[in-house]
C-alpha cells in the first residue's frame, strides 16, 4: 500500500546516505510519470544503478542532499532535494527537488528547500540554478520562497535555466 498524508505520518528530513539506494528507487516508483518528467525534464521510469550511486554517494559539501522519510514507511523516500556546486562558479549550485505526488502541496518541498538553502549558505553557496519546464509553476513558487531575487532566466524550447539569489540566513 502506498503512503498518503492522511496516514498521519511522522516525517523526518535527514541527509541522504549510501544505503538509501533502494529507498530512493522505491520512492521514484511512487511518483507519476508527470512528476518524474518535471524533475528530470524527460521520461524517467526508473533510476539506473549508476544514477542511484551518483544520487546517494555524495560528499556533503559540494553535493548535499536531504530526504524525507516517514517512520511508518521506512522503505521509501517521500521526497528528496539536493544541490550540486558548480565547479566553474563555486558560489552557485544546481538545485533539484522532487516530492511524491500524494505529498505535494502540503509544505514538504518548502521544508526541504529551506533546509537546503541554509546548508548552502553555510557552505558559501549564494545562488541556486535550476532547469525547469515552462509549465512548472510550483517549482518557481518554491524557489521564490528561499530567494531574494531571480537574477537570470534563459528560456528555450519550453525549458528555462533560472538563477536565484538565496536569501541571507
Ligand atoms: C515543485 C515541488 C518540489 C514543490 O513541492 P511541494 O511539497 O508540493 O511544495 P510546498 O507544498 O512546500 O509548496 C511550496 C510553494 O509552492 C507552491 N505550490 C505548490 N504546488 C503548487 C502548484 N501546483 N501550483 C502553484 N504553486 C504551487 C505553494 O503554494 C508554495 O508557495 P508559497 O510558499 O508561496 O505558499 C513538487 O511540486 C514536485 O515534486 N514537483 C515535481 C518535481 C519538480 O517539478 N521538480 C523541480 C525540478 S528542479
**pLDDT at position 1, please?**
72
- pLDDT at residue 15 in the model: 98
Output the furthest CA–CA distance in the chain (Å, rounded): 45
* CB count in 10 Å sphere of residue 128: 23
Q: Is 145 in the pocket of ligand 1 (CB under 6 A)?
A: yes
pLDDT, tens digit (0-9, with 9 covering 90-100), for 153-166:
999 999 999 999 99
Which of 109, 114, 133, 146 is the pocket-test mutation for ligand 1 (most atoms within 8 Å of CB)?
109
Region for 46 from its dihedrals, namely left if φ exceeds 0, alpha if ψ lies in -120 to 50, beta otherwise: beta
Say what the pLDDT of residue 89 is.
97
- Give me 33's grid cell: 510519470
d(CA 26, CA 137): 26
How many angstroms does the Cα of residue 97 sit away from the middle of ligand 1?
A: 10
User: How many other CB atoms are found less than 10 A from the CB of residue 49?
Assistant: 9
Q: Which three cell numbers stand for residue 3?
A: 503512503
> Which domains are delineated in the chain?
5-166 (3.40.630.30)
Contacts of 105 (CB under 8 A, 6+ apart): 138
Give the residues of the chain that fall short of pLDDT 50: none
5 contact partners, CB below 8 Å, separation of at least 6: 102, 103, 106
Evaluate whether 109 touches 79 at the Cβ level (below 8 Å). Answer: yes
Of 93, 141, 145, 161, which is best to mutate to test ligand 1, by the most ligand atoms within 8 angstroms of its C-beta? Answer: 141
Q: State pLDDT tens for residues 10-36.
A: 999 999 999 999 999 999 999 999 999
Distant-in-sequence contacts of 118-124, Cβ < 8 A, 24+ apart: 118/169, 119/64, 119/66, 119/83, 120/64, 120/83, 120/93, 120/166, 121/166, 121/168, 121/169, 122/169, 123/61, 123/62, 123/64, 123/85, 124/90, 124/91
21-30 and 49-56 helices, crossing angle to 10°: 110
Amino acid at each position: 500500500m502506498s503512503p498518503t498524508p492522511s496516514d498521519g505520518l511522522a516525517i523526518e528530513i535527514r541527509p541522504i546516505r549510501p544505503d538509501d539506494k533502494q529507498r530512493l528507487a522505491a520512492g521514484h516508483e511512487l511518483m507519476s510519470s508527470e512528476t518524474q518528467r518535471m524533475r528530470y525534464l524527460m521520461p524517467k521510469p526508473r533510476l539506473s544503478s549508476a544514477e542511484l550511486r551518483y544520487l546517494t554517494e555524495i560528499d556533503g559539501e559540494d553535493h548535499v542532499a536531504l530526504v524525507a522519510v516517514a517512520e511508518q514507511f521506512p522503505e521509501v523516500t517521500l521526497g528528496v532535494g539536493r544541490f550540486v556546486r558548480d565547479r566553474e562558479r563555486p558560489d552557485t549550485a544546481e538545485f533539484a527537488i522532487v516530492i511524491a505526488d500524494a505529498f505535494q502541496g502540503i509544505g514538504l518541498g518548502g521544508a526541504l528547500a529551506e533546509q537546503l538553502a541554509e546548508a548552502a549558505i553555510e557552505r558559501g553557496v549564494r545562488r541556486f540554478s535550476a532547469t525547469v519546464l515552462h509549465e512548472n509553476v510550483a517549482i518557481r513558487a518554491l524557489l521564490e520562497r528561499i530567494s531574494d531575487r531571480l537574477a537570470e532566466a534563459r528560456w528555450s524550447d519550453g525549458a528555462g535555466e533560472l538563477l536565484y539569489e538565496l536569501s541571507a540566513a
